[in-house]
Chain A
Amino acid sequence: SQELEQSPQSLIVQEGKNLTINCTSSKTLYGLYWYKQKYGEGLIFLMMLQKGGEEKSHEKITAKLDEKKQQSSLHITASQPSHAGIYLCGAGPYGNKLVFGAGTILRVKS
Chain B
Amino acid sequence: DTGVSQNPRHKITKRGQNVTFRCDPISEHNRLYWYRQTLGQGPEFLTYFQNEAQLEKSRLLSDRFSAERPKGSFSTLEIQRTEQGDSAMYLCASSLGRRGSYEQYFGPGTRLTVT
| Bound CA–CA A98/B103 (angstroms) | 10
Q: Are B102 and A41 in contact (CB under 8 A)?
A: no
In the complex, chain B residues whose CB is within 8 Å of the CB of A68: none
List, sorted by A's number, 5 A–B pairs whose CB atoms are closer than 8 Å. A42-B106, A43-B106, A90-B43, A95-B98, A101-B42
- Chain A: interface size category: 20 to 34
- Chain B: interface size category: 20 to 34
- Known contacts: A43-B43, A88-B42. The answer to whether A97 contacts B106 by CB under 8 A is no
- Known contacts: A40-B111, A42-B91, A100-B42. The answer to whether A94 contacts B102 by CB under 8 A is yes
| Bound CA–CA A94/B48 (angstroms) | 13
In the complex, chain B residues whose CB is within 8 Å of the CB of A101: 42
Check A48 for interface membership: any CB of B closer than 8 A: yes
In the complex, chain A residues whose CB is within 8 Å of the CB of B93: 43
Check B25 for interface membership: any CB of A closer than 8 A: no
